Structure 1
Amino acid sequence: MSVRSGTISMWLQAGTCIGWSLFITVLSTTNQLQLYISPSMTRYVKWTALGCYILGAALILIGWLTRAESKPDAAHEHLHVGCACGTDTPQPNKNGRVLLTSVILLAPIGMSLIWPAEALDSKVAENKGIQFQPSAVVLPQATGKQAEPKPQNSASVAPTAPIQSDTQSSKTSQMPEFPADEFTQMYADYAKQIYVQDEIFIEDNHFMETIMTLDLFREQFTGKRITWQGFVYQSDDMKKGRYAISRFVMQCCTADAAPFGLLIDNKTKRQLKKDSWVEVSGKMTIGKQGEAAVIVMQVDRITSIPKKEDPYVYHNLDFGI
């Protein structure tokens, strides 16, 4: 392979590296990176972009120096590129393979220009299969039964309770039992924290943990007012007036994002449009979707909201610590 051919090969590789570096930089500066990966992974992607930029710059420099050094000795170029001297066997030209590889690696960038990044919607949720029983994640064989309570150690000393107001004391005294095992104890502890609230608002930073808790202890939370935000989903097998207000829960990237939702019976006169973003509020009940027992909210308040800048929710890694 000639020096010229080797230089072109290096420049093609450099262009691929720098192309990906610029692509990631643009996504980061325009707040679109979160449409591809979770916030916990962005730092690694940004470091990768920096590495690609440095590698691309190094390849350009090496290619330029190699080309410059070869000019005075062009007549004997074969002495410097390791050709098979003394034979007629031609050396393979790698440019074709490098070009093909570069095209394949740069294809996603070109596709993103043709089809700009968008948040996953109800069409993807339907293809993936939306989950209405989040407790199945920790209880794969869940049948609607609650976990058996952990045995209490009679020798243990209970922690000192904080001073409570009369209202809080009344609610605490009326608090139901939240039986749990070693896998669900953290959810039982969280259930005790949110049960005393007059209205439970499902925050984005605890979305998965909250709906998991509500589903694990459906009977205890029946009748409580719940408020949350999400996009509207409705499948063909849902009865009239029933929807799911849902979110995609992402662990690493959009490839592993899974749709979770809470079913609602719309008790308002408002018509909901698929994929529109809303905040809903209603009383929690237990109903049926197909043959499964699931949470069904009797919603009496619906408010339209703008589509969230970051439409996904994530597992809270500090939960239960």
Structure 2
Amino acid sequence: MEQTNDLSFQKFIRGIILVGFTLLLFKLILSGNITNFIAPRMLPFVYFATGIFLIMGILQIWRSDSKKDLDIFCDCGLDHNQKSSPIKSLIIYCLFLFPIFTGFLFPDVILDSSVVAKRGINLASANASVEQKQASSNGGNEAVSEATDSTTSDSSQPKSLDELYLEGLLNSDKIEVTDAEYSKIISSVETNLDKFVGKEIELTGFVYREPDYQLDQFAVSRFTVSCCVADVQVMGTLATGEIAKQLKNDEWVKVTGIIEKGERNGQTLPSIQIKNLEKIEAPSDPYIYIY
């Protein structure tokens, strides 16, 4: 009888844990804070998991009241009468209960510059990838170059979507970097920097400075998320101007300026000469989602 009560209690606790995770997910979904942890494209999986947790939790609680021997004993030939250590069981269940309690008790925190200081900031991702491709392809680049020349010489050859997109950016009076196209625009500027020098650009982000930055220099930074905050990366664009001396880390700004060539650690990268800077409130959803 004691073994039966012990198994019933463990089923009840497991059910409570599953219901607890369900309620935590409900809280994050209803408050909209779920996107502080995962990308919007992952929401269908969260909805599915929430439903499964709820069903399994209810079943566990319902089965905990069952008195049928069939639920406890079987004909497998093994001894199921050994008692588990209460302390061991308590530690195991606390491992599951801890994230539930902390999820309800502590406020949801958005990533800030302290994370950047640990993970580092990426100021020239596109340039780096291009250089790696060039180094790995070697002689293959000559063939690609010849093919490109023959293509461009034929005016009847239709342009690719990337070429049309690049032309659109170059022909615009001012490049406005939106959240939806943030990665695409920044990558286009980095890989075609010579063409963009002198163009006006406007972008938003939070202020971040590396310890060796000049006083009039900072990075207009954004967190990029592919799946969840576990894979978060930081993209930044250098900006220079006297007004930068008045800024502190984590302040959100809208920067308008002229694209110039900058250099850091021996690598050429885009830099913005600030024409106008406006402090703004942090957006409700501060992340850039990469698909």
| Percentage of identical aligned residues | 25
In structure 2, C-alpha distance between the alignment counterparts of 1:213 and 1:264, rounded to whole Å: 18
Change (3 A) 1:262 1:281: same
Pair 1:111-2:107 in alignment? no
Q: Which residue of 1 aligns with 2:138?
A: none
2:207/2:219 contact within 8 Å kept = yes
In structure 2, C-alpha distance between the alignment counterparts of 1:155 and 1:242, rounded to whole Å: 45
Cα deviation, 1:126-183, whole Å, max 9, x if unaligned, reads: 2111000021464252789xx8642434778434x9xxxxxxxxxxxxxxxxxxxxxx
Match of 2:272 among 293, 297, 304: 297
Pair 1:123-2:122 in alignment? no
TM-score norm. by structure 2 comes to 0.85
SS across alignment from 1:286: strand
> 2:263 corresponds to which letter in structure 1?
K
Pair 1:236-2:227 in alignment? no
1:280/1:299 contact within 8 Å kept = yes
Cα deviation, 1:84-134, whole Å, max 9, x if unaligned, reads: 9xxx99523376555433211222233334542211111111211100002
* Cα displacement (A) at 1:240: 1.6
| Aligned-pair Cα RMSD in Å | 2.9
The structure that is helix-richer by fraction is 2
Match of 1:205 among 164, 180, 187: 180
Q: 1:188-267 to 2 correspondence within 5 Å?
A: 188-267=163-242
Q: Which runs of 5+ in 1 are unaligned?
A: 71-76, 162-184
* Cα displacement (A) at 1:196: 0.9
> 1:250 corresponds to which letter in structure 2?
V
SS across alignment from 1:2: helix
Pair 1:276-2:251 in alignment? yes
TM-score norm. by structure 1 comes to 0.77
Q: Which residue of 2 aligns with 1:20?
A: 21
1:187/1:213 contact within 8 Å kept = no
Larger radius of gyration, structure 1 or 2? 1
SS across alignment from 1:12: helix
1:187/1:209 contact within 8 Å kept = no
> 2:54 corresponds to which letter in structure 1?
Y
Q: Which moved more, 1:230-239 or 1:104-113?
A: 104-113
Q: Which residue of 1 aligns with 2:37?
A: 36
SS across alignment from 1:117: coil
Change (3 A) 1:83 1:28: closer
Cα deviation, 1:209-255, whole Å, max 9, x if unaligned, reads: 11011000000000000100000001111012000010011011111
